[in-house]
Amino acid sequence: MVLILIGLVSGTIGGMGIGGGTVLIPALTLFVNTEQHISQSINLIYFIPTAIIALIIHIKNKRIDFKIVLPIIIPGIIGAIIGSCIAIKFSSNVLKKIFAVFLLIMGIYEMFRKSKLAKN
Protein backbone atom coordinates (compact mmCIF):
# COMPACT_ATOMS: atom_id res chain seq x y z
CA MET A 1 0.00 0.00 0.00
CA VAL A 2 2.90 2.36 0.78
CA LEU A 3 4.38 1.82 -2.68
CA ILE A 4 1.03 2.53 -4.34
CA LEU A 5 0.65 5.79 -2.39
CA ILE A 6 4.25 6.81 -3.20
CA GLY A 7 3.63 6.07 -6.90
CA LEU A 8 0.38 8.04 -6.94
CA VAL A 9 1.83 11.14 -5.24
CA SER A 10 5.06 11.19 -7.24
CA GLY A 11 3.15 10.50 -10.49
CA THR A 12 0.81 13.41 -9.82
CA ILE A 13 3.70 15.76 -9.09
CA GLY A 14 5.69 14.45 -12.04
CA GLY A 15 2.71 14.93 -14.37
CA MET A 16 2.52 18.54 -13.26
CA GLY A 17 6.11 18.96 -14.47
CA ILE A 18 7.49 19.60 -11.01
CA GLY A 19 9.56 16.43 -10.88
CA GLY A 20 8.20 13.26 -9.34
CA GLY A 21 11.71 12.26 -8.29
CA THR A 22 11.68 14.99 -5.67
CA VAL A 23 8.99 12.95 -3.92
CA LEU A 24 9.81 9.44 -5.13
CA ILE A 25 13.47 9.29 -4.11
CA PRO A 26 13.07 10.56 -0.52
CA ALA A 27 9.90 8.48 -0.06
CA LEU A 28 11.64 5.28 -1.15
CA THR A 29 14.64 5.93 1.09
CA LEU A 30 12.58 6.98 4.12
CA PHE A 31 9.52 4.72 3.99
CA VAL A 32 10.75 1.68 2.06
CA ASN A 33 14.37 1.83 3.33
CA THR A 34 16.00 1.47 -0.08
CA GLU A 35 19.57 2.65 -0.61
CA GLN A 36 19.99 5.97 -2.41
CA HIS A 37 21.46 4.26 -5.51
CA ILE A 38 18.45 1.96 -5.73
CA SER A 39 15.97 4.81 -5.20
CA GLN A 40 17.59 6.89 -7.92
CA SER A 41 17.65 3.92 -10.32
CA ILE A 42 13.98 3.15 -9.63
CA ASN A 43 13.22 6.82 -10.28
CA LEU A 44 14.85 6.63 -13.71
CA ILE A 45 12.84 3.56 -14.74
CA TYR A 46 9.65 4.98 -13.18
CA PHE A 47 10.20 8.22 -15.08
CA ILE A 48 9.97 6.68 -18.57
CA PRO A 49 6.27 5.68 -18.69
CA THR A 50 5.09 8.57 -16.50
CA ALA A 51 6.99 11.10 -18.62
CA ILE A 52 5.56 9.65 -21.85
CA ILE A 53 1.99 10.03 -20.59
CA ALA A 54 2.62 13.56 -19.26
CA LEU A 55 4.40 14.50 -22.51
CA ILE A 56 1.46 13.34 -24.65
CA ILE A 57 -0.95 15.43 -22.59
CA HIS A 58 1.30 18.51 -22.62
CA ILE A 59 1.87 18.26 -26.39
CA LYS A 60 -1.88 17.85 -26.94
CA ASN A 61 -2.48 21.02 -24.91
CA LYS A 62 0.31 22.88 -26.77
CA ARG A 63 2.39 23.41 -23.61
CA ILE A 64 5.76 22.49 -25.15
CA ASP A 65 8.02 25.07 -26.80
CA PHE A 66 10.07 22.93 -29.18
CA LYS A 67 12.43 25.85 -29.95
CA ILE A 68 13.62 25.57 -26.34
CA VAL A 69 13.46 21.77 -26.05
CA LEU A 70 15.45 20.71 -29.09
CA PRO A 71 18.73 22.54 -28.28
CA ILE A 72 18.86 21.07 -24.76
CA ILE A 73 18.19 17.40 -25.61
CA ILE A 74 21.72 16.40 -26.73
CA PRO A 75 23.53 18.25 -23.90
CA GLY A 76 20.96 16.69 -21.51
CA ILE A 77 21.81 13.19 -22.74
CA ILE A 78 25.53 13.91 -22.37
CA GLY A 79 24.91 15.26 -18.87
CA ALA A 80 22.92 12.12 -17.98
CA ILE A 81 25.83 9.92 -19.05
CA ILE A 82 28.31 12.01 -17.04
CA GLY A 83 25.99 12.11 -14.01
CA SER A 84 25.44 8.34 -14.07
CA CYS A 85 29.17 7.69 -14.24
CA ILE A 86 29.77 10.04 -11.32
CA ALA A 87 26.88 8.65 -9.22
CA ILE A 88 28.16 5.07 -9.27
CA LYS A 89 31.43 6.26 -7.71
CA PHE A 90 29.71 7.75 -4.61
CA SER A 91 28.33 5.88 -1.64
CA SER A 92 24.59 6.00 -0.96
CA ASN A 93 25.23 8.24 2.03
CA VAL A 94 27.10 10.83 -0.05
CA LEU A 95 24.44 10.72 -2.79
CA LYS A 96 21.72 11.24 -0.19
CA LYS A 97 23.51 14.34 1.10
CA ILE A 98 24.10 15.73 -2.39
CA PHE A 99 20.42 15.22 -3.23
CA ALA A 100 19.35 16.89 0.03
CA VAL A 101 21.54 19.93 -0.65
CA PHE A 102 20.19 20.14 -4.20
CA LEU A 103 16.58 20.08 -2.94
CA LEU A 104 17.38 22.69 -0.29
CA ILE A 105 18.99 25.05 -2.81
CA MET A 106 16.09 24.61 -5.26
CA GLY A 107 13.56 25.19 -2.47
CA ILE A 108 15.28 28.39 -1.33
CA TYR A 109 15.57 29.59 -4.92
CA GLU A 110 11.86 29.00 -5.56
CA MET A 111 10.86 30.79 -2.36
CA PHE A 112 12.68 33.97 -3.33
CA ARG A 113 12.31 33.88 -7.11
CA LYS A 114 10.16 36.62 -8.54
CA SER A 115 7.49 35.20 -10.80
CA LYS A 116 7.04 36.60 -14.32
CA LEU A 117 3.32 36.76 -13.61
CA ALA A 118 3.89 39.05 -10.61
CA LYS A 119 5.73 41.58 -12.84
CA ASN A 120 2.80 41.99 -15.28
Q: Name the residue among 30, 55, 44 with its Cα closest to residue 84.
A: 44
* Residue range of the domain that includes 23: 2-119
44-68 pLDDT per residue, tens: 999 999 889 989 999 999 999 999 9
Q: Which residues of the chain have pLDDT under 70?
A: 116-120
Question: What pLDDT does residue 51 have?
Answer: 87
Question: What pLDDT does residue 119 have?
Answer: 54
Q: Cβ–Cβ contacts within 10 Å for residue 7, how many? A: 16
CA 105, 15, 96, 86 dihedral sign is negative
Integer Cα distance of 24 and 31 in angstroms: 10
Question: What pLDDT does residue 13 have?
Answer: 87
Overall number of domains in the chain = 1
DSSP annotation of 73: H
Question: What pLDDT does residue 20 have?
Answer: 85
